[in-house]
Structure 1
Amino acid sequence: MESANPNADTPKTCSGGCGFFGSAPLNYYCSVCFKKVHGEEEFKRRTEVTPAETPSPAAKEEIKDEEKADHMEVDAKPAEQAPAEAPAKAEVKEVEQPPAEPVKKGPTRCASCCKKVGLTGFVCRCGGTFCGVHRYSDKHECSFDYKQAGRDQLSKANPVVEAAKLEKI
């Protein structure tokens, strides 16, 4: 008679109506619907698990005993702790306010022939992304001056050595 409540272990379908199964931490939404309704930040916050938070199976029993003791202590104390917890929640909201950086999408097409290159594209010194055929500077209209770049590289690598014009006393 372990299952006193038969609905406790039964998976429920997504509240968004997509047909997948939802989970209790996500209010019975699947991950995709939850992200649509509540946003990416809330999804990360609810599903984030750190190694410190996942105890070993032997330590789980000790934690359960400690939680029971904590609940008993909380029930015995008056409502003095509630105001102390409110500023902590306000601080968390301040941390969440900075806007998220936009996701940078990489170039996926050749600048010459518009062929999809995906991850196999070659980035030229002129700044364009090209396919395997147009990757060389003579196969596309490259605006990078290789001649001047070579001269600059040589002048930095080989400084001019010349004698002083006047002898020092």
Structure 2
Amino acid sequence: MVNETEALPCEGGCGLYGTRVNNNLCSLCYKKSVLQHSPALRFEPETEQSQCCPPTNSPAVEEEPVKKRRCGICKRKVGMLGFKCRCGHMFCGSHRYPEEHSCPFDYKQSGRLALATQLPLIRADKLQRF
């Protein structure tokens, strides 16, 4: 008994191998022959739109370009390991410190405000004079 999936030279003459299941044709030649013999399998887009559903005019979706993460000083790609400073910029490992990139953020004032909000104000009661 001959195996149905045995590889035989394609009868289409393309140089590939076909099988008995596909009439001794390779997959490419078999697809061409099926499309030639049955036009119902061909894809033809419809030109008329359906009457039941009105066409929807959706606005074109614009893709935002991907912004590459780079150091604010040396423009080196930082990828996932970039350091975001309080001034709002991204920096590499060598420029991450405020002294290295001349950071305009006022750390002293920020610290004072944090202490003022976190620590309660303690006042002693007034002493009454007799």
Mark the CA change 1:6 to 1:111 in structure 2 (over 3 Å): closer, same or farther.
same
Q: Which residue of 2 aligns with 1:126?
A: 87
- 1:122·1:129 contact (CA, 8 Å) conserved in 2? yes
Would the aligned equivalents of 1:107 and 1:129 in 2 still touch at CA under 8 Å? no
4+ residue runs over 6 A deviation? none
Q: Quick check: which one's helix share is greater?
A: 1
What is the letter of the counterpart of residue 76 of structure 2? K
Residue 148 of structure 1: how far off its partner (Å): 0.7
Larger Rg: 2
- The farther-off stretch of 108-117 and 153-162 is 153-162
Residue 8 of structure 2 is matched in structure 1 by none
Alpha-carbon deviations, 1:35-79, whole Å to 9, x = none?
A: xxxxxxxxxxxxxxxxxxxxxxxxxxxxxxxxxxxxxxxxxxxxx
Segments of structure 2 that go 5 or more residues without pairing to the other structure are: 1-19, 24-28, 33-41
Contact 2:68 2:77 in 1 (8 A): no
In structure 2, what is the equivalent of residue 109 of structure 1? Answer: 70
Alignment correspondent of 2:96 = 135
Q: Do the aligned partners of residues 100 and 111 (structure 1) sit closer, same or farther apart at CA in structure 2, a change above 3 Å counting? A: same
With normalisation by structure 2, the TM-score equals 0.50
Distance 1:86 1:129 in 2: 50
Amino acid at match of 1:133: S
User: Which piece of structure 1 moves more, 115-124 or 102-111?
Assistant: 102-111
What residue ranges of structure 1 are gaps of 5+ in the alignment?
9-23, 28-81
Instruction: Give the TM-score, by structure 1 length.
Output: 0.40
* 1:7 match: 31
Superposed displacement of residue 101, structure 1? 5.7
Work out the CA distance in 2 between the residues paired with 1:129 and 1:117: 8
